[in-house]
Amino acid sequence: MACIFCKIAREEIPAQIVYHDELATAFRDINPKAPVHILVIPNQHLTSLHDAVGEDHQTLVGHLLQVCAQIAEQEKIAQDGYRVVTNIGRNAGQSVDHLHFHVLGGRPMHWPPG
Ligand code: AMP
């Protein structure tokens, strides 16, 4: 499959991986928008969070969110606060069609997002 995040999860192309288990992989974003910017992905291909709706994926989505929180601890951004974001589809600006949660921290952030 040509999906770049599938290749990262299979360690077929280089990435700065900070966490990996049988369900999930986390790695540094190549174009960081904050001092800490990690992407948390399922190892299996799902196009977006919308694709993961339904009982089959409840455990997986819960696990991915747990990994996000664990990464925030690991990267020492939890105490000051951080943001977890997933973009779904064109209007939200999703540019890679493999479900990913952005974990962003290390600076104050604005709300609402642009
Ligand atoms: P989104 O726009 O929500 O789909 O986010 C996709 C993110 O993937 C962007 O922040 C990109 O900088 C990041 N990205 C794309 N290719 C790579 C890569 N090979 N390694 C790490 N991050 C990547």
Residues 6+ apart with CB under 8 A from 89: 48, 50
> Does residue 112 sit within a domain?
no
Residue 27 in domain: yes
Torsion of CA 22, 70, 73, 39, to 10 degrees: 70
Which residue's alpha carbon is nearest to atom 20 within ligand 1?
A: 30
pLDDT digits (tens, 9 = 90+) for 94-108: 999 999 999 999 999
Does ligand 1 come within 6 angstroms of the Cβ of 47? no
Tell me whether residue 64 is in a domain. Answer: yes
Residue 13 alpha carbon, nearest atom of ligand 1: 19
We report the CATH number of the domain holding residue 13 as 3.30.428.10
- Residue 108: the pLDDT is 97
37 is catalytic: no
Work out how many domains the chain is built from and give that number: 1
Containing domain of residue 12, as a range?
4-105
- Write down the pLDDT at residue 114: 82
**pLDDT tens string 26-60:** 999 999 999 999 999 999 999 999 999 988 999 99
Whether 86 is in the pocket of ligand 1, judged by its Cβ within 6 Å, is no
113 lies in some domain: no
Q: How far is the CA of 59 from the centre of ligand 1 (A)?
A: 24
Is residue 114 included in any domain, yes or no? no
d(CA 112, CA 95): 20
pLDDT tens digits, one per residue of 55-106: 899 999 999 999 999 999 999 999 999 999 999 999 999 999 999 999 999 9
Confirm or reject: Cβ of 93 under 6 Å from ligand 1: yes
pTM, whole model, 2 decimals? 0.98
Query: Strand locations in 1-114, DSSP E?
Result: 17-20, 24-28, 36-42, 82-85, 101-105
Determine the pLDDT at residue 13. Answer: 97
Q: Tell me if 92 CB under 6 Å of ligand 1.
A: no
The token duo for 36 is 């800490």
